[in-house]
Structure 1
Amino acid sequence: MQDTIDQPFARIADLIALHAQRQPQHPAVVHGEERVDYATLHRRMDQVAVALQRAGIRPGEAIAICAPSSIAYATVFLGALRAGVVVAPLAPSTTPQGLAQMVDNAEARLVFLDATSEIAAGALNPPRIALDGNAAVGQPLADWLAPEGSAPEPAPVEPAAAFNIIYSSGTTGAPKGIVQSHGMRWAHIQRGLQYDYSPQTVTLLSTPLYSNTTLVLFFPTLAFGGTLVLMAKFNAAEYLKLAVRHRVSHTMLVPVQYQRLLALPDFDAHDLSSFRFKFCTSAPFSPVLKADVLKRWPGGLVEFYGMTEGGGSCILDAHEHPDKLHTVGKPTPTSDIRLIDEAGKEVPEGEAGEVVGHSGGMMNGYHRQPEKTREAEWFDPAGKRFIRTGDIGRFDADGFLVLFDRKKDMIISGGFNIYPSDMEGELRQHPAVLESAVVGVPSEAWGETPVAFVVLRPGASVAAAELKDWVNARVGKTQRLSELVLTEELPRSAIGKILKRELRDSWTGKVA
């Protein structure tokens, strides 16, 4: 298998065809009680590819998929890749207006959806195909597919060709379409050589297929001939049942999912000894939570730091560096990560700056948004292209990257830079605090001032004023909170990111 993966470039669709020959009855994708083996997946991909070609959709043109994870979803995505067609996976939770904007931006020729996304779909121009066969939603998938046994016309692709368009979560405004190439996805697959991927791999995915977080494990698992177990919606208790039942070896979870799993009273009673690697990305992963995962969950723990846009990654193999849990690891060998100041100049060694990165896996650009693409780029004096992350960080003496905050989340109060993560870290030390988010709100005296939104642990009780005084006694004078609000939950995106913009927008109070 290593010889197959360790080559300059290959197509994922071709690797699945190879597995269909070598291990036709090996399970490829499992969802609930439904499962398909590699031979069946290969045939269905051909049916999708032929149907797309029959509809006149050419390589390089796009389709959109808007539905929860399912075997039908996976088959359409993979079949489109076989035809050289670009896939725009979209969130069913989006608004009708947002969905229409993304479909229009992607120039999608067809939209695949199911009943769960019917309301969000609204009035879309492209023809609709119903993944679940619901004729009220669109043409049933079974009726649209080409006959079984159909063979598509060859559709070779170059590494630079568009693979998919991933839309940003929209937490900072209108979603942007991030065009990722076949070469970028191949780099993700080759990274799997480090993490014991093989035909014996069983990967449990409970995050949605429209998220790059999910896809960085989805494609490598299939490329290596492993088995995918899909969850349409995360449920902590059900996740553990599936992990035990299928003897799961690999998984991707965001921090809030780790938190909810470890909080289950019977977590430690489950046999999770089959796990080889657990991965995390997409949101800040607290050192305390990482340590708890390492202590209670067998197998390695790996944190990926990077952007959907690409531009370099850092990796923390937490099980090998338990003293570096406050970092996001070191840059990968193929990544060039640098730190720049407000003027776009590299900062001196040891100082903090905005993280920018270059690698072989970078987005082509934001789809049909050249100005946004230029805003995301930084070029060094030699003309080398980097992607700006918007994150502020610094390298420690051992070359591990320590992150402070998103640049846009940094609070400037009375001329001082305040990093919300500092206060959030202090709040986590209080025994009553489950999670928190600190944002900057307008202040007449200081321009901006920090306000904390806090969720308490179940059964815990503490007054907001008491908790504010407690944390203010532990931080510097310029960092002190002006207000602290107790709330039942923090707003999150579908992938688990805290929506700080919503917290800022919800603030109606006044501070001096």
Structure 2
Amino acid sequence: MTNLATPIDRNAAFTPDKVAIRFEGAAITYAGFARDVARAASLLRRRHGVGRGDRVAVLATNGPAYLALLYACARLGAILLPLNWRLAAAELGYILQHAEAQVAFVEPAFATTLQEAAPELPAAPLEIPEGDADWDGPGRFEDPLLLVYTSGTTGRPKGALLRQEALFHNAVMSHHLHGMTAEDHILAALPFFHVGGLNIQTTPALQIGATVTVHARFVPEAVMEAIATDRPTLMLTVPAVLRALMATPGWNELDLSSLRAISTGSEPVHQALIDAVMARGVPLLQVYGATESCPIAIYTRLGGDLSRGTSTGLPGLLCEARIADEAGRELPHGVAGEVLLRGRNLFAGYWRDEAATASCMQDGWYRTGDIGTRDSDGYFFVHDRKKNMIISGGENIYPAEVERVLLEHPAIAEAAVLGAPDPKWQEVPVAFLVLRAGMVLEEEAVRAHVSARLARFKVPRRVVFTDSLPRTALGKVRHFELRPLIGTDA
């Protein structure tokens, strides 16, 4: 295989008239999608001068052109930079500057935000025009293909660089965990700017020749209608999405018989949610991983043992996993430690951040920062998420990032952000603030300050003003002492 676009061309040769992508009432065959990829490659190379290693940004909701752009980058050896359209302009500006994008493809709804974020960056509509088609290119399997930025614990996002071969190995594991074949029909409603929405089912399906029904964004009623009328066989969710579906009128009466399985991940899955899905006769598969693992690393498999409750499963077909101590030594069964991963599905490092890369790698193993255990049969249980991280509606929020913005306000001397339980979003951020002497600040003014700089889901839902923050001798905030105050007026 020359590059990751090759399977698209091969599927077009084997089954040219088979539907590859359904989107908003239109059906694109594999022959048509292969042409779109070739035209997108020509557009990148001839009109925008994109070559091997260049970064191509995309700020858009899900759609066929998004996927064509991905495979066009694979053909050229270029790097796709998916941007989270929920981010504020300042956040996008930092990412675009740090990645040094050459061009950005943008959906009209986000054009103003992109202009504010990076006024000097050449921008183009996310459309694949008729015209010339590049059916060949210099891209190779070992070339980087995806640069995905994750919120960093230092308060600035880091760009995880994923090679084409990482996506290929990830796809093999997806085929294994889902029993996926060319006969499957995938319903894709999670955002492609996350590796989960892009790589757990969508790109594996296109590589094997299956059909993908793409939704621009998640809308519970639209997903339910698609299940009823399009009859997909596989679907990816996160717990917040499952809860939203279950709360939508008509869910309990919806015919789910076409679904061979529903997959979920991104946060620990509670037993009550597992039981609610399984009671409908649909297996709920768990997938564990990270942006840095493309993301598939550990999973429960369709047809495998799903009786272990909240277990996230076994190490994937092409990925190693262990529970280790601080020195990286493997721990006995039942002993809690850090989850470590190793395999060719792992990232190539953080973009232009050797120190961050070195800090999370140990003898070829990626240190996830997640704490878990493994039972005597090798099944993994992930107990705690990455230190201090808040997961709200499937989105990761790192307190350090919000704290950094809070401390930019002239009235705020100290800040600490924690997650508070929320029945709808799982968690929401709460800010504890110490004001500078003589300063007065209202809660709404704090939220306005943050919302001007960060995405809405990162804005603290509550603000607690306090005289001081509990700290260790080294000056670190003792978050556990603040946690009991979340449910009080402090």
Decide: shared fold, TM above 0.5. yes
- CA–CA distance in structure 2, aligned partners of residues 78 and 507 of structure 1: 48
Deviation at 1:68, TM superposition (A): 0.7
Deviation at 1:509, TM superposition (A): 5.2
TM-score, normalising length from structure 1?
A: 0.73
Q: Which residue of 2 aligns with 1:202?
A: 185
Q: Which residue of 2 aligns with 1:370?
A: 354
Q: Which residue of 1 aligns with 2:198?
A: 215
- Closer/same/farther in 2, CA of residues 40 and 297 from structure 1, 3 Å limit: same
- Give, as a single letter, the amino acid of the residue that structure 1 aligns with 2:258: S
Q: Which residue of 1 aligns with 2:103?
A: 110
Q: Which residue of 1 aligns with 2:339?
A: 355
Deviation at 1:390, TM superposition (A): 0.8
For each residue in 1:36-70, what CA deviation from the matched residue of structure 2 results, as whole angstroms up to 9, or x when unmatched?
Answer: 22222111211111122213211222200011112
For each residue in 1:100-120, what CA deviation from the matched residue of structure 2 results, as whole angstroms up to 9, or x when unmatched?
Answer: 221222222110001221232
Structure scoring higher RCO (CA < 8 A, sep ≥ 6) equals 2
- CA–CA distance in structure 1, aligned partners of residues 43 and 105 of structure 2: 13
Q: Which residue of 2 aligns with 1:42?
A: 34
- Residue aligned with 1:323, SS: coil
- CA–CA distance in structure 1, aligned partners of residues 378 and 461 of structure 2: 34
> Among residues 19, 22, 35, which one is paired with 1:27 in the alignment?
19
For each residue in 1:109-158, what CA deviation from the matched residue of structure 2 results, as whole angstroms up to 9, or x when unmatched?
Answer: 11000122123211333210012xxxxxxxxx46xx4x53x242632433
- CA–CA distance in structure 2, aligned partners of residues 372 and 171 of structure 1: 10
> Among residues 151, 161, 166, which one is paired with 1:184 in the alignment?
166
Q: Which residue of 1 aligns with 2:482?
A: none
- CA–CA distance in structure 2, aligned partners of residues 388 and 56 of structure 1: 38
Q: Aligned residues, how many?
A: 412
- CA–CA distance in structure 2, aligned partners of residues 305 and 508 of structure 1: 37
- Closer/same/farther in 2, CA of residues 210 and 40 from structure 1, 3 Å limit: same
Q: Which residue of 2 aligns with 1:400?
A: 379
- CA–CA distance in structure 2, aligned partners of residues 451 and 175 of structure 1: 18
More displaced stretch, 71-80 vs 57-66: 71-80
- CA–CA distance in structure 2, aligned partners of residues 189 and 333 of structure 1: 11
- Residue aligned with 1:74, SS: helix
Q: Which residue of 2 aligns with 1:332?
A: 316
Q: Which residue of 1 aligns with 2:43?
A: 51
Q: Which residue of 1 aligns with 2:287?
A: 304
For each residue in 1:342-395, what CA deviation from the matched residue of structure 2 results, as whole angstroms up to 9, or x when unmatched?
Answer: 45544454321111111121100011111111111122xxxxx11111111111
CA contact (8 A) 1:28 1:227 kept: yes
Q: Which residue of 1 aligns with 2:125?
A: 130
Structure 1 residues not aligned, in runs of 5+: 1-8, 132-140, 380-384, 411-419, 422-436, 440-448, 458-497
- Closer/same/farther in 2, CA of residues 341 and 404 from structure 1, 3 Å limit: same
- CA–CA distance in structure 1, aligned partners of residues 14 and 111 of structure 2: 39
- CA–CA distance in structure 1, aligned partners of residues 183 and 285 of structure 2: 20
Q: Which residue of 1 aligns with 2:210?
A: 226
Q: Which residue of 2 aligns with 1:78?
A: 71
- Give, as a single letter, the amino acid of the residue that structure 2 aligns with 1:226: A
- CA–CA distance in structure 2, aligned partners of residues 124 and 163 of structure 1: 25
- CA–CA distance in structure 2, aligned partners of residues 451 and 21 of structure 1: 53
Q: Does 1:167 align with 2:160?
A: no
Q: Does 1:89 align with 2:89?
A: no
Q: Which residue of 1 aligns with 2:245?
A: 261
CA contact (8 A) 1:338 1:356 kept: yes
- CA–CA distance in structure 2, aligned partners of residues 219 and 331 of structure 1: 21
- Give, as a single letter, the amino acid of the residue that structure 1 aligns with 2:354: P
- CA–CA distance in structure 1, aligned partners of residues 466 and 280 of structure 2: 42
- Residue aligned with 2:9, SS: helix
Structure 2 residues not aligned, in runs of 5+: 392-396, 400-415, 425-455, 468-484
Deviation at 1:75, TM superposition (A): 2.2
Q: Which residue of 1 aligns with 2:264?
A: 280
- CA–CA distance in structure 2, aligned partners of residues 325 and 450 of structure 1: 31
CA contact (8 A) 1:176 1:367 kept: yes
- CA–CA distance in structure 2, aligned partners of residues 504 and 377 of structure 1: 35
Q: Which residue of 1 aligns with 2:62?
A: 69
- Closer/same/farther in 2, CA of residues 74 and 334 from structure 1, 3 Å limit: closer
- CA–CA distance in structure 2, aligned partners of residues 225 and 209 of structure 1: 19
Q: Which residue of 1 aligns with 2:5?
A: 13
- Residue aligned with 1:11, SS: coil
- Closer/same/farther in 2, CA of residues 111 and 238 from structure 1, 3 Å limit: same
- CA–CA distance in structure 2, aligned partners of residues 10 and 201 of structure 1: 25
Cα RMSD over matched residues? 3.1
Q: Which residue of 2 aligns with 1:475?
A: none
For each residue in 1:418-437, what CA deviation from the matched residue of structure 2 results, as whole angstroms up to 9, or x when unmatched?
Answer: xx99xxxxxxxxxxxxxxx9
- Residue aligned with 1:178, SS: strand
More displaced stretch, 243-252 vs 393-402: 393-402
- CA–CA distance in structure 1, aligned partners of residues 339 and 264 of structure 2: 19
- Residue aligned with 1:325, SS: coil
Deviation at 1:271, TM superposition (A): 1.8
More displaced stretch, 233-242 vs 14-23: 14-23
- CA–CA distance in structure 2, aligned partners of residues 456 and 315 of structure 1: 26
Q: Does 1:98 align with 2:91?
A: yes
CA contact (8 A) 1:114 1:130 kept: yes
- CA–CA distance in structure 1, aligned partners of residues 135 and 248 of structure 2: 51
- CA–CA distance in structure 2, aligned partners of residues 265 and 252 of structure 1: 20
CA contact (8 A) 2:319 2:341 kept: yes
Matches of residues 436-455 of structure 1 in structure 2 within 5 Å?
Answer: 453-455=420-422
- CA–CA distance in structure 2, aligned partners of residues 399 and 155 of structure 1: 43
